[in-house]
């Protein structure tokens, strides 16, 4: 029962990634793309934890998702910094 | 330290401070910050680790001591108020109220989304705040952003620029209810500025990014060390842990600028750590070779360690992971420095060349 719920939630989140992907590809400005990528990263993080529940190895997948969150944070920040400084870090 | 018990003391009480600088007020504060940082980091380690045997806990204690020694000033800036330790419990009391507010504005937003006629009236409102402390300002800005309907766009001196989705969201903020709650949380220091003279000092521009990264860095470093130390149970190991450690330094560069970070984490240190890591790796490998085994044949180390072959293998792998972690961290930072400077690195002795990064943080200079 619980497994089906997690599977459904993960699939639904995968579907929700698609609109963000549309914005990331089409998005008229760079900022649109950055925000879209950030949103996709956050969804991926939740999907990773749900996968951990499905494979019954939550401890392992939580470690991975923490690193993923960290990298997501750094990439958004680095991109923001890059555009704020006009191409210089 | 009870004054009543020292009845023989007839002369006026002289504080220990007067005798030796080791007992000065500032030093006592530093030691308290060190202990607090150690306790926080060790709790984080225990939360992550999941292995509570003597070996892993002692590794944890060692790592937390190392990080709290190097980065305790990241967590606690010198402020000059005594009862700052009350902030943490009061912050936990504040969170339920914040969650209640988030729920209320969520309901309001749901109503807006499903209403047949559009009642959106987005606007940007300036909000003057009476808070001056960096931590309080950051907490306030993040609370505004967490509440659906309002987003902090910019923080200038003590004016927030907030994007509100309709008039109710704006009015909820303008009542100042949230600000009063945060002022209560940070009461002893809410109107004090940090006195730190290091690069961590809260400055007007990028205050939010700087404060958040300052608070995150020690925990990221602990996480990197945890990944290195638990490489044989969970995903990760020397390479991944090294990259996470390097990421913490890269974050510092992003927040505080290249030059300020390079004065703290110099290129010389990078090169030294890089070769130390390779030395540890090659040293353990060659030691096994000298003891009559193959390269990296860890069980031969048992001749020294005398703990049995399996434990010797485990320790040997840990040593290797540590060497790899240090080398990878130093290499990543070195590569990042080289890319960020584009090869033409300003000489450290020439102060005029170093100001390029700092002055341009407003972004409209060139």
Range of the domain at A63: 2-84
Q: What is the mean pLDDT of residues B273-279?
A: 93
Residue in B234, B250, B360 closest to A74 by CB: B250
Number of domains in chain A: 1
Whether pLDDT at B7 is above 60: no
The token pair that represents B22 in the structure block: 């080791």
Residue B279 is predicted with a pLDDT of 94
- The pLDDT score that the predictor gives to residue B80 is 60
Query: Among partner residues A64, A66, A85, which is closest to B360 by beta-carbon distance?
Result: A85
Shortest distance between the Cα of B23 and any Cα of chain A, in A, equals 40
Q: Is residue A41 part of a domain?
A: yes
- The reply to whether residue B254 touches residue A88, judged by beta carbons under 8 angstroms, is no
Q: Measure the CA angle with vertex B138, ends B133 and B142; round to 5°.
A: 150
Q: Is residue A89 part of a domain?
A: no
Q: What is the mean pLDDT of residues B205-220?
A: 86
- H helices of B76-206, in order, are 87-114, 134-146, 167-174, 177-185
Q: What is the pLDDT of residue B136?
A: 83
Q: Which residue has the tokens 């009063």?
A: B180
Residue A72 lies in a domain: yes
Residue B284 pLDDT exceeds 80: yes
Residue B97: closest CA among B178, B215, B34: B178
Residue B280 has a pLDDT of 92
* Strand-by-strand arrangement of the B150-156 sheet: B123-128, B159-164, B150-156
Quick check: A89 and B258 CB within 8 A?
yes
pLDDT in tens, B44-66: 999 888 778 888 888 899 999 99
Please determine, for residue B232, whether its predicted confidence score (pLDDT) is greater than 80: no
The pLDDT, as a whole number, for residue B365 is 32
Q: What is the pLDDT of residue B351?
A: 47
Mutate to test the interface with A, among B260, B363, B364 (most CBs of A within 10 A): B363
Record: contact A85-B220, CB cut-off 8 A: no
Residue A86 in contact with partner chain B when CB distance is under 8 A: yes
Is B215 near chain A, with CB under 8 Å?
no
pLDDT, position B196: 53
- Is residue B200 classed as helix, strand or coil in its secondary structure? coil
Residues of B in contact with A35 (CB under 8 A): none
Per the DSSP assignment, residues forming a β-bridge with B125 are B162
Q: What is the pLDDT of residue B328?
A: 94
Give the closest-approach CA distance of A81 to chain B in angstroms: 7
Assess A70–B contact: CB distance below 8 Å, yes or no.
yes
Determine the pLDDT at residue B262: 84
Task: Let me know: does B346 contact B353? Beta carbons within 8 Å.
Answer: yes
pLDDT bin (cut points 50, 70, 90) of residue B186 is confident
pLDDT at residue B352, rounded to an integer: 46
- For residue A57, is pLDDT > 70? yes
Say whether residue B167 is in contact with chain A using an 8 A CB cutoff: no
Q: Is A89 on the interface with B (CB under 8 A)?
A: yes
Binned at pLDDT 50, 70 and 90, residue A19 comes out as: very high
- Tell me: pLDDT of B179 over 90: no
CB-defined contacts A:B, below 8 A: 43
Residue B141 phi, psi (nearest 5)? -60, -40
Between CA B102 and CA B150 the distance in angstroms is: 11
> What crossing angle do the helices spanning B167-174 and B87-114 adopt, rounded to 10°?
160
Residue B137: pLDDT band with limits 50, 70, 90: confident
Q: According to the model, what pLDDT value does residue A87 have?
A: 61
> What's the token pair of residue B177?
């209810």
Dump pLDDT digits (tens) for B306-347. 777 788 888 888 888 999 999 999 999 999 988 888 766 555
Q: What is the pLDDT of residue B17?
A: 53
Please tell me the predicted confidence (pLDDT) of residue B182. 86
Distances (CA, A) of A27 to A8, A31, A43: 29, 8, 19
- Residue percentage of chain B with pLDDT more than 90: 19
Domain membership flag for residue A80: yes
- B57-77 core/surface letters (b: 16 or more CB in 10 A; e: else): eebbeebbeebbeebbbbbbb
């Amino acid at each position: 029962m619980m497994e089906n719920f997690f599977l459904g939630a993960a699939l639904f989140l995968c579907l929700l990634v698609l609109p963000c992907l549309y914005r990331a590809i089409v998005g008229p400005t760079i900022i649109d793309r950055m925000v879209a990528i950030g949103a996709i990263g956050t969804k991926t993080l939740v999907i990773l934890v749900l996968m951990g529940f499905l494979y019954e190895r939550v401890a392992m997948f939580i470690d991975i998702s923490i690193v993923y969150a960290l990298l997501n944070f750094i990439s958004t920040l680095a991109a923001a910094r890059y555009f704020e400084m006009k191409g210089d870090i | 330290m009870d004054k009543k018990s020292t009845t023989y003391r007839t002369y006026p009480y002289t504080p220990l401070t007067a005798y030796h600088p080791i007992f000065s007020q500032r030093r006592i504060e530093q030691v308290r910050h060190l202990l607090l940082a150690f306790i926080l980091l060790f709790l984080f380690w225990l939360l992550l680790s999941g292995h509570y045997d003597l070996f892993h806990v002692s590794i944890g204690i060692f790592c937390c001591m190392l990080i709290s020694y190097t980065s305790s000033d990241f967590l606690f800036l010198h402020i000059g108020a005594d009862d700052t330790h009350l902030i943490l419990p009061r912050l936990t009391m504040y969170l339920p109220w914040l969650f209640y507010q988030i729920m209320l504005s969520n309901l309001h937003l749901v109503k807006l989304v499903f209403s047949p006629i559009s009642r959106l009236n987005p606007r940007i409102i300036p909000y003057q705040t009476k808070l001056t402390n960096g931590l309080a300002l950051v907490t306030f800005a993040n609370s505004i952003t967490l509440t659906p309907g309002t987003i902090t766009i910019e923080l200038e001196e003590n004016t927030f620029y907030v994007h509100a989705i309709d008039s109710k969201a704006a009015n909820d903020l303008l009542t100042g209810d949230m600000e009063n709650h945060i002022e209560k949380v940070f009461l002893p220091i809410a109107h004090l500025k940090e006195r730190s003279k290091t690069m961590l000092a809260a400055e007007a521009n990028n205050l939010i990014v700087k404060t958040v990264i300052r608070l995150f860095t020690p925990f990221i470093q602990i996480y990197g060390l945890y990944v290195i130390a638990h490489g044989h149970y969970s995903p990760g190991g020397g390479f991944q842990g090294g990259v996470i450690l390097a990421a913490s330094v890269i974050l510092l560069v992003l927040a505080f600028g290249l030059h300020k970070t390079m004065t703290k984490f110099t290129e010389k240190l990078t090169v030294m750590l890089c070769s130390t890591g390779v030395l540890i790796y090659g040293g353990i490998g060659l030691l096994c070779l000298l003891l009559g085994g193959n390269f990296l044949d860890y069980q031969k180390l048992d001749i020294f360690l005398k703990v049995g072959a399996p434990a010797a293998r485990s320790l040997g792998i840990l040593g290797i992971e540590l060497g790899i972690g240090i080398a990878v961290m130093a290499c990543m930072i070195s590569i990042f420095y080289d890319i960020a400077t584009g090869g033409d690195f300003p000489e450290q002795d020439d102060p005029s060349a170093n100001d390029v990064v700092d002055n341009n943080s407003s972004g409209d200079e060139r």
